[in-house]
Amino acid sequence: MKFTFNFPDLGEGLEEGTIMEWYVKPGQQVKMGESLVQMETDKVVADIPSPKNGVIAKLIGEVGDVIKVGSPLVIIQIEGETSEQVKEDTKTTTEPVVEPDEEGGSVVGTIEVAGKGDIMAPSDEGDSETEGETAMPRKALATPVARAMAKQMGIDINIISGSGPSGRVKKEDILNYNSKTGDSDIQSDTEISRASFVPKESYKQGPEDVTYKPLTQIRKTIAKNMLQSKHNAAHMSVFEEVEISALMDVRSRYKQKFADKGVKLTYLPFIVKAVAQALKQHPQLNSQIDTENNRMIYRNRYHIGIAVDAPDGLVVPVIRDADRLSIFQIAGQIGELANKARNRKLTLEDLKDGSFSITSFGSFGGIYATPVLNFPQAGILGIGRILKTPVVKGDEIVIGNIMPLSLTVDHRVVDGGETTRFIYKVMEYLSDPISFLMEE
């Protein structure tokens, strides 16, 4: 029998995913739990395992395709029926589709679409003519770049064998075909822009005005979340400075000891600890408003999100129960989560349940900013670049080390007075690190 495996709901409100890599191919034997495909969702990159033992009969979608949750992803042939039977048992019709190309554009061609449940059946496009039958003209599957190039060169694209997935013709195939024919009057690859869809006589050589890149799932989610935050919360920001010479001294004394144990000690673990301790005394900033049910939701655990500048976009993994962890434990978790984020190994568990966020833009040179709330959280603390500047100590002007702080809150949830008391408590902890140990 055949089994259609739909893209599963991975949780956290995910609606779709992009195919990053297929680990299997038609005809391959798979076992339950083996990875079938790598999918990029709006939160993580995850491997999707096979739910059954069997043989892959059909992959539904190419690398780069966006698949909705609940839509068919792969057909698995369960023991008792061969792949040939699956093909014979599925009536097909031909419909035009658009698929991603190797440069983020589209591919125009035809595929076979199954008549049962809108599941794609194995395509026989490109098969040789069978005895006693007249072969239909072959319509090449090709990228727009290749089609435009072939048109300008006067080449019939349908006679070229493609090197891309499913026999897709790419621009390299056009150039290789041209080199074999020896036509010296044909333009080279560098002379033909991927935007060259104008008549040959109006074509002008030169750099492209724009470059198009498809939105990643992460970037789409960032855009959606930023708008949701701005539209659904009343942002208010305050700015402060804290002198951290004592904290710098503590860090310098313990930095090498941490390094000997494989943990990098930055200022961030101290900030995480200070925020968690301050939230215990100012619970409004560890809450969220539930207008639909006319109530406030106060979080009794202190899960601190850390904004990480990952290659594909900003992600916010969470340090869970930060108030119960030592500086060493927090530093270790920060290093581990940052590495996972940059290597796209974060799981949904790493990203869920944050109650307050911290973003450190100072590492890139910023001093002050107005952080955008990680909605529906009530607060986010921004950390600026540490500055050496004159300060007054004991009626004397000395050189101090100033850490700028930018705190944004949801003004529907937190008033100005509570906002100020919270940031002063954080400043107290950072200016006197020993105070961490003196709390009851």
Average pLDDT over every residue of 420-437: 92
Cα angle at 315 between 243 and 278, to 5 degrees? Answer: 35
Average pLDDT value for the chain: 79
The answer for residues whose C-beta is within 8 angstroms of residue 270's C-beta and 6 or more apart is 247, 250, 251, 327, 429, 430, 433
Query: Cα–Cα distance between 83 and 104 in angstroms, integer?
Result: 32
This prediction has a pTM of 0.59
Q: Which residues pair with 358 in a beta bridge?
A: 306, 381
Domains of the chain: 2-89 (2.40.50.100), 217-438 (3.30.559.10)
Spatial CA neighbour of 45 closest among 25, 23, 21 = 21
Q: List helix spans (H) across 343-399.
A: 348-351
Residue 231 in tokens: 């539209």
pLDDT by residue (tens digit) across 307-333? 998 877 788 999 999 999 999 999 999
**Of residues 231, 282, 303, 411, which has the active-site annotation?**
411
Give the pairing of strands 54-59 and 72-77.
antiparallel
Rounded to 10 deg, the angle between the 268-281 and 416-431 helix axes is 140
Sorted by sequence, the CB contacts under 8 Å of residue 84 that are 6+ apart come out as none
171-181 and 144-153 helices, crossing angle to 10°: 30
pLDDT at 94: 33
Cα–Cα distance, 345 to 8 (Å, whole number):
19
Strand order in the sheet with 72-77: 2-6, 72-77, 54-59, 29-30
Distance linking the first and last C-alpha atoms of the chain: 65
Q: Identify the CA nearest to 242 among candidates 418, 370, 425, 439.
A: 425
pLDDT tens digits, 122-175: 333 333 343 444 444 556 677 666 777 777 777 887 888 877 765 777 777 877
**CA R_g for the chain:** 29
Q: Pick the closest to residue 373 from 426, 419, 312 (CA basis).
A: 419
Is 411 catalytic? The answer is: yes
Instruction: Give yes or no for residue 395 having a pLDDT over 90.
Output: no
What residues form DSSP beta bridges with 288? 297
Whole-angstrom distance, CA of residue 194 vs CA of residue 201: 17
How far apart CA 394 and CA 325 sit, in angstroms, is: 35
Mean pLDDT of 48-53: 90
Other residues' Cβ atoms within 10 Å of the Cβ of residue 37: 24
* Residue 378 C-beta-side C-alpha neighbours within 13 Å: 24
Reply yes or no on whether the pLDDT at 18 is more than 90: no
Predicted confidence (pLDDT) at residue 237 exceeds the cutoff of 80: yes
Q: Is the pLDDT of residue 374 over 80?
A: yes
Contact 77, 2 (CB under 8 A): yes
User: Is pLDDT larger for residue 270 or for residue 171?
Assistant: 270
Within 8 A by CB and 6+ apart from 216, the residues are: 18, 40, 312, 313
Q: Judge whether 317 and 307 are in contact, CB under 8 Å.
A: no
